[in-house]
């Protein structure tokens, strides 16, 4: 199966148009035509032409940038679709599929009927295809790309053997134009001149060398569903159904050494409306007994209406969760903290459960990071070369003057008397990070023990005189 | 310096306690440090106050502390109830911004008993709930002897299972222990300071 216009067919399927249409790919500084439709071909354009030249040939040309990733995705879905013809489907380059239809052609009658069915279906899907069925993979490729002739493979040009362009030119210089010429000439001089690749390709096309089809492995699907003969509406029933779905889902996850990070439970009601319960887990897990209670809160909020008759459970995000060896140092300790974080996270959002991580900065507000606990690991390595206040608040100005700490000051409607002042500790702003709070320049930090008892963290800004309270010590 | 702990301390596990006063943050950090294990600190997200891990280090390992930022007090209470019930934490600290009623206090108390976790509400003065096991007032004190002192006055102002009282305490970061110290004027060897 060769899709000669995969990229342009993909776009034209969504936006049908009869006008000349090209897909242009940027190579270096020029845009070259990468794929084009028959109308553009009739207008005299060809692959590899510069887009600017093409526009001068054909002023009403429509062009789109190339998106190889989306083309690959289309080919991937075509591959899945092609499994309806036979179970052994592999990729052939970036624009073709190869099917091993041995043993499945009789289901359509014969090979011709199978090809006709394929062609009809792809035509309905508006994808141009060239099909060929042959005894070997090499022959099928040659026939698909270079057309079916009466003489079969031997009449086709040497380029049909999937050779490098230099080899093809070399063979043509020797006067060997068709595959028939090649088979008639002695093998040893050819191998000496062009290397073993040429003869390998020839033997593969003729069937003397095997060339197996490698089928793509089906990506694992982590979803299960349950259809009920009678609609259900009780919360306990929904939980029981979820429990029944969780067991096979977790078995699938365990078979792939994966753990679910996000689960989506879709409940379809009898009136076709569907409701979703999303569960974001704080750690990858696959134990049904641990996941089930976490669904409780979401299921309680579901409006069952006239009843639910179909339930689908999908693990929308999975992470590798390999089995771990049990040793004397790492005992399997059931860690229920992740369950707790998940339960709290369903209420306040998983991002709002945080933990401290160390950071390298002298600026008090930036000397630590706050990261969501579900997406980070606990780390040690905090260090405090000098005592830091336990509570930091936005700087609150106080009335004072001079570079020395005031003997008496008012803060939050309290009159405080300085009993001991420790400092100053000068901290300069990090000029490489713009921060509006540090616009006032240098800060001289003082720890002030007041006679009233409170231990405050004051700073003085010498470049922009003023005194502020920024924190309180324990 | 006596190393005897004040009575009713460490706080009774499986119960919810309250603390008010200017040094309540330090009190909570000491409670979490003495209990060991992991702690959760629930705070409403709009509060501008930030806890700093560097300052927590003398009391507890900052890696063992989880923070929960909630939208409002209802969420905070729900988080605290869930965390107390779970039992995988040793201390749950909850910052309260509006008065707790008896129902809320009682629910927290039941949750703490289920999980065997110590609960601690940091309350503004006079906003406690009658369901609390003990209520403390923590005020910092000026310590003329030592520069990096954490001298505080702890006072039990409500106690369901005992008497009230007041102590001067001091946290020793080196030995990771709490010491009860006699008030300044009554220390052996110190002349009574004239009033």
DSSP chain B: -B-PPPTT-SPPTTSEEEEESTTHHHHHHHHHHHH-S-EEEEEETT---EE-HHHHTTTS-GGGEEEEEESSHHHHHHHHHHHHHH-S-SEEEEE--S---HHHHHHHHHHHHHHT-EEEEE--TT---TT-SEEEEEEE---SS-TT---EEEEEEEETTS--EEEEEEEETTTTEEEEE--GGGSTTPPPPP-
Partners of residue B79 in chain A, C-beta under 8 Å: 344, 347-348
Both tokens of A307, joined, read 């009843």
pLDDT of residue B93: 94
Instruction: Give the β-pairing of B118-122 and B91-95.
Output: parallel
Q: Which has the closest alpha carbon to B124: B48, B47, B18, B11?
A: B18
Residue A381 lies in a domain: no
pLDDT means per 10 residues in chain A (474 residues)?
A: 84 82 84 84 83 85 86 88 86 86 85 88 87 84 77 78 86 84 84 86 85 79 90 91 92 90 91 88 85 87 88 90 74 70 86 88 85 83 83 90 90 91 88 84 91 91 90 88
Residue A179 domain-assigned?
A: yes
Report, as ranges of residue numbers, the positions in chain B whose pLDDT lies below 50.
1-3, 191-195
| Sign of the four-CA dihedral A40, A46, A51, A53 | negative
Q: What phi and psi values does residue A313 have, to the nearest 5 degrees?
A: -125, 125
Q: How far is B112 from chain A (nearest CA, A)?
A: 15
Closest residue in chain B to residue A381, using alpha carbons only: B63
Q: Is residue A368 part of a domain?
A: no
CA A36/CA A46 separation, integer angstroms: 8
Q: How many domains does chain B have?
A: 1
A100 and A198 part of one domain: yes
Of A388, A390, A411, A391, nearest to A399 (Cα)? A411
| Distances from the Cα of A213 to the Cα of A63, A102, A225, A326, A390, angstroms | 36, 11, 33, 42, 67
Domain that holds residue B88: 16-183
A463 in any annotated domain: yes
Torsion of CA A466, A471, B1, B7, to 10 degrees: 150
Q: What is the CATH number of the domain that holds B21?
A: 3.40.50.300
Domain-ending residue, one of A146, A180, A206:
A206
Look at residue B1 in the predicted model and tell me its pLDDT: 45
Residue A238 shares a structural domain with residue A202: no
**B167 part of a folded domain:** yes
pLDDT of residue A446: 92
Q: Which residue, chain included where needed, has tokens 């008010």?
A: B20
The alpha carbon of residue B62 is apart from the nearest alpha carbon of chain A, in Å, by: 7
The pLDDT, as a whole number, for residue B192 is 46
For residues A287 and A361, give the distance between their C-alpha atoms in angstroms, rounded to a whole number: 41
Contact A474, B24 (CB under 8 A): no
Q: How far apart are CA A451 and CA A417, in angstroms?
A: 6
**What is the separation of C-alpha A452 from the centre of its chain, rounded to a whole number of angstroms?**
59
In a domain, B195, yes or no: no
* Nearest by CB: B52 against A378, A390, A420: A390
Residue B104 lies in a domain: yes
Look at residue B6 and tell me if it is in a domain. Answer: no
Decide if A327 is inside a domain: no
Kindly state whether residues A197 and A95 are assigned to the same domain.
Answer: yes
Instruction: Calculate the alpha carbon distances from A360 to A149, A337, A441, A445 in Å.
Output: 73, 28, 20, 19
Domain that holds residue A415: 391-472
Residue B11 lies in a domain: no
> H/E/C letters for each residue in B12-50?
CCCCEEEEECCCHHHHHHHHHHHHCCCEEEEEECCCCCE
* CATH number of A50's domain: 3.40.1170.60
* CATH for A281: 3.30.1490.100
> What ipTM is given for this predicted complex?
0.87
Which residues on neighbouring strands pair with residue A426, listed in sequence order?
A: A444
Is B153 a member of any domain?
Answer: yes
Tokens representing A216 are 């793509």
Does residue B2 belong to any structural domain of this protein?
no
- Within 10 angstroms of residue B192's Cβ, the number of other Cβ atoms is 9
What pLDDT, on a 0 to 100 scale, did the predictor assign at position A332? 54
Q: Are residues A55 and A119 in the same domain?
A: no
Q: Alpha helix locations (H) across A406-450?
A: none
Question: Are A192 and A267 found together in one domain?
Answer: no
Please tell me whether residue A184 adopts helix, strand or coil conformation. Answer: helix
Tally of CA atoms within 13 A in the half-sphere of A104 that contains its CB = 14
Q: Which residues on B lie below 8 Å from A362 (Cβ)?
A: none
- d(CA B62, CA A380) in angstroms, rounded, equals 8
Q: Which residues in chain A are closer than 8 Å to B144, comparing Cβ atoms? A: 419-420
Would A133 be classed as within a structural domain?
yes
**Which pLDDT does position B110 carry in this prediction?**
93
Q: Collect all residues of chain A within an 8 Å Cβ-Cβ radius of residue B29.
A: 390, 474
Min Cα–Cα distance to chain A from B164, Å:
22
Q: Give me the pLDDT at residue B185, please.
A: 61
Question: Using an 8 Å Cβ cutoff, are A35 and A6 in contact?
Answer: yes
A-interface mutation test, from B62, B147, B152, most A Cβ less than 10 A away: B62
Within-domain flag for B122 = yes
Residues A128 and A56 in one domain: no
How many domains does chain A fold into?
A: 4
Q: Do A313 and A401 lie in a common domain?
A: no
Among all residues of chain A, which has the CA nearest to that of B73? A348
């Amino acid at each position: 199966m060769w899709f000669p216009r995969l990229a342009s067919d993909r776009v034209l399927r969504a936006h049908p148009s009869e006008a000349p249409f090209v897909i242009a790919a940027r190579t270096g500084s020029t845009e070259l035509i990468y794929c084009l439709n028959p109308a553009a071909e009739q207008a005299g354009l060809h692959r590899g032409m510069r887009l600017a030249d093409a526009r001068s040939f054909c002023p009403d040309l429509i062009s789109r940038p190339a998106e190889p990733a989306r083309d690959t995705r289309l080919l991937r879905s075509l591959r899945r679709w092609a499994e309806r013809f036979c179970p052994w489907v592999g990729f052939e380059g970036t624009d073709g599929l190869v099917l091993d239809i041995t043993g499945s052609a009789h289901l359509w009658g014969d090979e011709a009927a199978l090809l006709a069915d394929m062609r009809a279906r792809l035509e309905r899907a508006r994808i141009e295809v060239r099909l060929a069925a042959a005894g070997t993979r090499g022959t099928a490729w040659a026939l698909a790309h270079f057309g079916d002739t009466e003489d079969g493979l031997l009449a086709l040009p040497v380029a049909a053997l999937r050779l490098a362009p230099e080899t093809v030119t070399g063979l043509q210089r020797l006067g060997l134009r068709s595959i028939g010429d090649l088979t008639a000439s002695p093998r040893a001089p050819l191998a000496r001149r062009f290397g073993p690749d040429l003869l390998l390709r020839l033997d593969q096309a003729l069937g003397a060398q095997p060339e197996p089809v490698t089928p793509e492995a089906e990506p694992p699907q982590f979803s299960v569903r349950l259809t009920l003969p009678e609609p259900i509406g009780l919360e306990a029933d929904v939980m029981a159904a979820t429990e029944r779905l969780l067991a096979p889902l977790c078995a699938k996850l365990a078979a792939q050494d994966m753990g679910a990070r996000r689960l989506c439970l879709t409940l379809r009601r009898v009136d076709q409306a569907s409701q979703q319960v999303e569960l974001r887990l704080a750690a990858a897990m696959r134990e049904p007994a641990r996941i089930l209670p976490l669904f409780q809160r979401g299921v309680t909020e579901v409006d069952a209406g006239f009843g639910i008759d179909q339930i689908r459970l999908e693990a929308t995000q999975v992470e590798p969760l390999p089995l771990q060896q049990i040793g004397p140092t790492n005992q399997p300790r059931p860690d229920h903290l992740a369950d707790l974080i998940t339960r709290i996270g369903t209420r306040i959002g998983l991002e709002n459960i945080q933990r401290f991580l160390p950071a390298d900065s002298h600026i008090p507000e930036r000397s630590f990071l706050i990261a969501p606990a579900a997406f980070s690991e606990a780390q040690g390595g905090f260090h405090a070369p000098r005592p830091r206040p336990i509570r930091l608040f936005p700087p609150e100005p106080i009335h004072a003057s001079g570079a020395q700490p005031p003997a008496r000051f008012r803060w939050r409607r309290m009159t405080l008397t300085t009993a001991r002042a420790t400092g100053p500790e000068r901290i300069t702003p990090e000029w490489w990070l713009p921060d509006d709070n540090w616009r006032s320049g240098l800060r001289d930090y003082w720890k002030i023990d007041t006679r009233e008892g409170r231990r405050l963290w004051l700073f003085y800004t010498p470049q922009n005189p003023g005194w502020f309270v920024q924190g309180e010590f324990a | 310096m006596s190393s005897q702990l004040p009575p009713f301390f460490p706080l009774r596990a499986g119960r919810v306690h309250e603390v008010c006063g200017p040094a309540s943050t330090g009190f909570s950090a000491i409670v979490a440090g003495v209990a060991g294990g992991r702690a959760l600190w629930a705070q409403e997200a709009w509060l501008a106050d930030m806890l700093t891990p560097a300052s927590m280090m003398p009391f507890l390992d900052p890696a063992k502390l989880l923070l929960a930022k909630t939208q409002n007090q209802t969420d905070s209470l729900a988080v605290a109830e869930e965390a107390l019930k779970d039992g995988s934490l040793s201390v749950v600290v909850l910052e309260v911004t509006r008065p707790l009623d008896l129902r809320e206090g009682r629910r927290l108390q039941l949750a703490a008993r289920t999980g065997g976790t110590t609960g601690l509400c940091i309350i503004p003065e006079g906003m406690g709930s009658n369901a609390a096991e003990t209520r403390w007032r923590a005020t910092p004190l000026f310590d003329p002897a030592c520069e990096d002192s954490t001298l505080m006055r702890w006072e039990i102002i409500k106690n369901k299972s005992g008497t009230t009282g007041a102590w001067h305490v001091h946290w020793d970061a080196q030995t990771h222990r709490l010491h009860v110290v006699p008030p300044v004027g009554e220390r052996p060897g110190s002349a009574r300071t004239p009033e």
